[in-house]
């Protein structure tokens, strides 16, 4: 079967549903978290092109979503999976604080309503 508008084959939604049903929840959650981390890093200007893609408003949204996902799913995905995600989240929160011309008050930065205030070690 093809899509009448594009001439491309229509997606096989039954097969896609079966495929996603075979993926464990922990894998879906960690994959989404990694995508959020990657997108936040790009918007923080940490990608190869750096400042060209810097958008702190977008980074804030992505870090908030990531913090909510990690906090809500931590008990479901185990410490083995949650610990590295928390480390990545903290790194992004610190990078956001450094990238901001006017830093947020402690506890007011992206995701900090879920994680609590984030401080640089030794600060």
**pLDDT per position as a tens digit, 16-36:** 677 888 899 999 999 999 999
**Per-residue pLDDT, 120:** 78
Helices (H), 8-55: 13-21, 25-43
Supply 6's token pair: 């594009």
Question: Which residue is listed with tokens 């990545």?
Answer: 88
Does residue 70 or residue 20 have the better pLDDT? Answer: 70
pTM beyond 0.85: the answer is: no
Q: Is the pLDDT of residue 1 over 50?
A: no
């Amino acid at each position: 079967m093809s899509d009448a508008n594009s001439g491309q084959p229509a997606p096989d939604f039954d097969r896609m549903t079966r495929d996603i049903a075979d993926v464990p929840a922990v894998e879906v959650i960690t994959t989404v978290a990694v995508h959020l981390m990657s997108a936040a890093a790009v918007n923080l200007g940490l990608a190869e092109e750096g400042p060209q893609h810097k958008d702190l408003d977008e980074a804030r949204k992505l870090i908030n979503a990531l913090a909510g996902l990690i906090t809500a799913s931590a008990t479901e995905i185990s410490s083995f999976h949650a610990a590295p995600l928390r480390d990545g989240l903290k790194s992004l929160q610190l990078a956001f604080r450094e990238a901001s011309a006017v830093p947020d008050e402690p506890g007011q930065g992206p995701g900090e309503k879920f994680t609590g205030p984030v401080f640089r070690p030794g600060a």
